[in-house]
């Protein structure tokens, strides 16, 4: 029966993560119906991230009071209502409001689902269970552009929200009927509202800064400095409050668990600065540079999702038999080879099917990563800290995603401009080649316009390769932490013998 619980929980996680990537695909189509512009439509995504992050900060207290099952069911209700109402939105304000409701749903679904799986299985079985859970978590981002692209192109962008409703209703019925009522009383009896407000302020200002910083020109703009100041001050206030109050919102006891702390660090580096950067960057390459439709882009990314799906299950099974850190090494090795030798060398002319093959390799690497890192992170966590640990893990996933996409945007923009100027300085309109090109179009202005457009595409392609080069360095750094993690796990095993 416990494997049935995993299925219910994993389907819920799959639904909310799929919804996130599908909505990102549809956002350009929402601009006109919602009477907004490119600057306004970004808040459809930002509001969702903010509400999810803030909700996760309350999860430990809420789950301690009501139990994981009730929290999971409440998350499904929020997400279902948010989906229905978002599909009916006719203004940007309505969309932001209802996307925030969806974000509250995700903020309750993901940590409660993770906690229920951890509580249902022994340490010896958690690898396979987390492999299935990771399948839902990691398969969805690869599948989202395909499903989202199809719905947007052939039905309506509103269908992206409505498709969640029948799945949510099914999950509500199954969850109420079958999920066990896990109720682990947390060590905290009262909710620390002041620490919550300080950390919420840090979360909001950080996510807004990471999401809008590139557009504002980073620290050359007073808005970026303003939000950075708020972020730093609120975090310092949070740390001060956590030392003053006896009843802490987070507390440092969870971070004394070295396995958990190291695993979360590796997770942020690999998932945030590799996984999310790749999922974010490849659609830009296919759609903006290679001029593919959203649906065609999704089809080229689909093998990546297949790789994740198959190897999440393999990784989960192996994580119960060998040191999970070995699987993480294997994952990092595949990612490093793919990023350094293949993806960081693509350009405008690279065959599309070659890139699809490279993405399959990334999918295989990420598939081997999720189950073992989840097993390491939660295997040594005490039951009374399970709610807190899953909330922290989910919170860091959001911060990592925001950081990864922000860095990717900044790299693409800055290196595209740099390469454009370099190409601009290297060519001349007085060359024989350009004169022949001009004669073909019988217009110097048209020839220049076409050449400038092509120059921009070439420059952006080089910008994309720099993102993958940065991801390679992030994975390389994660290897160092994984080595420490490996020897720490082995030393604990030898002490227990």
Residues 286-329 pLDDT 10s: 888 898 887 888 888 889 889 988 999 899 899 988 889 999 99
Give me the helices (H) in 338-443, please. Answer: 352-379, 386-426, 432-441
Q: Is residue 149 part of a domain?
A: yes
Over its C-alpha atoms, the chain yields an Rg (Å, rounded) of: 23
238-261: string of b/e by CB count within 10 Å (b at 16+)? beebbeeeeebbbbeebeebebbe
Residue 421: predicted pLDDT: 75
User: Is residue 443 one of the residues assigned to a domain?
Assistant: no
The pLDDT assigned to 432 comes to 47
Do 279 and 224 belong together in one domain?
no
Q: Are residues 241 and 254 in the same domain?
A: no
Output 371 or 383, whichever has higher pLDDT.
Answer: 371
pLDDT of 338 reads: 97
Q: Per the domain annotation, does 237 fall within a domain?
A: yes
Question: pTM for the full model?
Answer: 0.84
Q: What average pLDDT does this structure show over 35-39?
A: 74
Q: Between 59 and 481, whose confidence is greater?
A: 481
30 and 159 assigned to the same domain: yes
Which among 469, 465, 483, 463 has a CA at the least distance from the CA of 336? 469
Residue 496 has pLDDT above 80, yes or no: no
Q: What is the CATH number of the domain that holds 476?
A: 1.20.1250.20
Structure tokens at 236: 């310092």
Query: Is pLDDT at 434 greater than 80 in this prediction?
Result: no
If asked whether residues 210 and 350 sit together in one domain, one would say no
In this structure, are 323 and 388 located in the same domain? Answer: yes
Is the pLDDT higher at 250 or at 392? 392
- The reply to whether 451 falls in a domain is no
Residues 200 and 271 in one domain: no
One domain, residues 172 and 182: yes
pLDDT of residue 185: 58
Whether residues 201 and 88 fall in one domain? no
Structural domain boundaries, residue 399: 2-191+249-416+459-496
One domain, residues 145 and 73: yes
> What local confidence, expressed as pLDDT, does residue 444 receive?
60
Residue 144 has a pLDDT of 81
- The structural domain count of the chain equals 2
Query: Is there a single domain that holds both residue 155 and residue 286?
Result: yes
Distances, alpha carbon 420 to alpha carbons 425, 449, 460, in Å: 9, 14, 8
Using alpha carbons, select from 337, 214, 359 the residue that is nearest to residue 283.
359
Question: For residue 435, is pLDDT > 60?
Answer: no
């Amino acid at each position: 029966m416990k494997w049935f619980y995993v299925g219910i929980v994993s389907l819920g996680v799959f639904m909310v993560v799929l919804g996130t990537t599908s909505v990102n695909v549809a956002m350009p189509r929402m601009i006109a119906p919602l009477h907004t512009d490119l600057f306004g439509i970004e808040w459809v995504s930002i509001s969702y991230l903010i509400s999810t992050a803030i909700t996760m900060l309350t999860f430990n207290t809420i789950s301690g009071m009501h139990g994981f099952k009730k929290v999971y069911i409440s998350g499904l209700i929020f997400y279902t209502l948010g989906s229905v109402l978002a599909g009916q939105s006719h203004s940007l304000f309505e969309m932001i409001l209802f996307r925030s409701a969806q974000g509250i749903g995700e903020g309750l679904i993901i940590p409660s689902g993770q906690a229920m799986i951890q509580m249902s299985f022994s340490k010896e079985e958690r690898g396979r269970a987390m492999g299935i859970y990771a399948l839902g978590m990691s398969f969805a981002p690869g599948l989202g552009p395909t499903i989202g692209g199809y719905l947007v192109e052939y039905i309506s962008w509103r269908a992206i929200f409505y498709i969640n409703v029948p799945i949510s209703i099914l999950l509500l019925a199954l969850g109420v009927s079958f999920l066990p009522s896990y109720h682990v009383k947390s060590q905290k009896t009262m909710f620390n509202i002041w620490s919550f407000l300080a950390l919420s302020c840090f979360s909001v200002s950080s996510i807004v800064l990471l999401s809008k910083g590139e557009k504002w020109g980073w620290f050359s703009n007073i808005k970026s400095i303003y939000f950075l100041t708020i972020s730093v001050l609120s975090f310092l206030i949070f740390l001060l409050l956590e030392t003053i109050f006896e009843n802490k919102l987070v507390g440092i006891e969870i971070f004394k668990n070295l396995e958990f702390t190291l695993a979360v660090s590796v997770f942020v580096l690999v998932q945030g600065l590799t996984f999310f950067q790749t999922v974010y960057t490849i659609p830009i390459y296919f759609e903006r540079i290679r001029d593919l439709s959203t649906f065609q882009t999704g089809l080229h990314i689909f093998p990546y999702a297949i790789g994740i799906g198959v190897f999440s299950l393999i990784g989960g099974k192996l994580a119960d038999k060998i040191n999970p850190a070995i699987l993480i090494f294997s994952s990092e090795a595949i990612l490093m080879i793919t990023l350094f030798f293949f993806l960081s060398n693509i350009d405008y002319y690279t065959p599309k099917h070659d890139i699809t093959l490279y993405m399959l390799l990334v999918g295989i690497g990420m598939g081997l990563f999720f189950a073992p890192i989840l097993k390491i992170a939660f295997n040594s966590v005490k039951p009374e800290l399970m709610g807190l640990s899953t909330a922290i893990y989910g919170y860091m996933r959001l911060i990592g995603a925001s950081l990864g996409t922000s860095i990717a945007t900044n790299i693409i923009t800055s290196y595209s401009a740099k390469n454009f100027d370099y190409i601009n300085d290297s060519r001349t309109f007085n060359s024989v080649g350009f004169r022949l090109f001009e004669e073909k179009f019988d217009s110097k202005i048209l020839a220049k316009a076409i050449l400038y457009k092509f120059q921009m595409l070439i420059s952006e392609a080089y910008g994309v390769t720099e993102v993958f080069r940065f991801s390679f360095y992030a994975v390389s750094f994660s290897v160092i932490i994984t080595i420490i993690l490996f020897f720490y796990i082995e030393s604990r095993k030898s002490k227990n013998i």
